[in-house]
């Protein structure tokens, strides 16, 4: 009571789809991109030792009570996040070089950057 409610009403308009766009290619790219994101998320989660997909997270008690919504146990999620942060920070402190550093370590740009860093240290 006493709260202001803003109603959003859809605007009816004619959608004009251009004929020079290949929608089949766009749909194929979308499917590919979704699959790629699933693989990337799985790799990131598995490197941190976390379960993937997200449905594997513990569901809070009472979430199955017919409300139709799914509620995650916030405390378990927070614990997983802090665990992931600790693993991420520990990996950075060990002096491990990332894949990007390994891939670009012999390029002329990286060599110039190293020379600049050494000159600035002196």
pLDDT, one tens digit per residue, over 26-37 is 999 999 999 999
- Reported as type and span, the H/E element at residue 33 is helix 23-47
- pLDDT for the residue numbered 93: 61
> In the chain, what are the domain boundaries?
23-96
pLDDT, one tens digit per residue, over 76-99 is 778 877 887 787 777 666 555 565
How many alpha carbons fall within 13 Å on the CB side of residue 89? 6
The whole model's pTM is what?
A: 0.40
Q: For residue 45, what are the contacts with CB-CB under 8 A and spacing of at least 6?
A: 51, 52
- pLDDT for the residue numbered 112: 86
CA distances from 89 to 38, 86, 93 (A): 24, 5, 6
pLDDT of 73 higher than 90: no
Instruction: Considering only residues 63 and 92, tell me which one the structure prediction assigns the higher pLDDT.
Output: 92
pLDDT, one tens digit per residue, over 42-56 is 888 787 777 777 664
């Amino acid at each position: 009571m006493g709260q202001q409610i803003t109603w959003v009403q859809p605007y009816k308009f004619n959608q004009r789809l251009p004929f020079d766009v290949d929608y089949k290619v766009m749909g194929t790219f979308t499917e590919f991109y979704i699959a790629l994101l699933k693989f990337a998320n799985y790799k990131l989660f598995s490197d941190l030792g976390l379960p993937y997909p997200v449905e594997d997270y513990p569901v809070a008690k009472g979430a199955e009570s017919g409300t139709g919504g799914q509620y995650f146990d916030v405390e378990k999620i927070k614990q997983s996040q802090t665990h992931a942060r600790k693993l991420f920070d520990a990996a950075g402190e060990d002096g491990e070089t990332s894949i990007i550093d390994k891939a670009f370590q012999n390029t002329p740009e990286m060599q110039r950057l190293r020379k600049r860093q050494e000159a600035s240290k002196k």
